Amino acid sequence: MSPANQEAPAAQHWAALVIAIIASQAGQVLLKLGASGLPPMEHDLIASLLAQLLRWQTLVGLCCYGSGTMFYVVALRRIPMSVAAPCTAVSYVSATLFGLLLFHETLSPTKIAGLALVCLGVVLLAEIGGRRQPARNQSIQDRDAMARAAAAGLSPPDRAVSASP
């Protein structure tokens, strides 16, 4: 891990992550709107893809995805990927809600169970990641302290050792 990534995320990094999630979700909705009302691609695949690509909803949706990706990269400068990626799972819930409200899609018990599992998985990842983080940071600090001591020609700092009976 590079030294820059050891710093705590600032509010701007969390804001970038939120913007990335919103932009990606807006992109999904716009791509769905762009796909609505087009004939099936059974006859002329190239013409159908070109018609899809040239719809304003598709073009704006692709721009939203691109900007969302750029904001996600900014967020990853300080937010660990093991935290940022599960945060993006909120888009599964919002995509389902947009599907229900805007496109009149149905919500089956299987979809509800799947969404519940996604949410549970995110909570578990956040909980496990939160517990393991301090130990990892301590080992990085120990390694850095030993490297500084070696560079200064000193012996490494002593560690407290417990004696077993």
Per-residue pLDDT, averaged over 2-22, amounts to 83
Q: What is the pLDDT of residue 162?
A: 47
115 has a pLDDT exceeding 60:
yes
Distances (CA, A) of 85 to 20, 92, 106, 139: 11, 12, 27, 24
pTM over 0.75: no
Half-sphere exposure of 16 (CA within 13 A, CB side): 18
Identify the pLDDT of residue 1.
Answer: 46
Question: Please, is 113 exposed, middle or buried when counting C-beta atoms within 10 Å of its C-beta (0-12, 13-18, 19+)?
Answer: exposed
Least confident of 50-64, 71-85, 94-108, 121-135: 121-135
Q: Which helix (H) or strand (E) holds 11?
A: helix 11-35
Whether residue 100 is predicted with pLDDT greater than 90 in this model: the reply is yes
| More confident position, 82 or 56 | 56
pLDDT of res. 106: 93
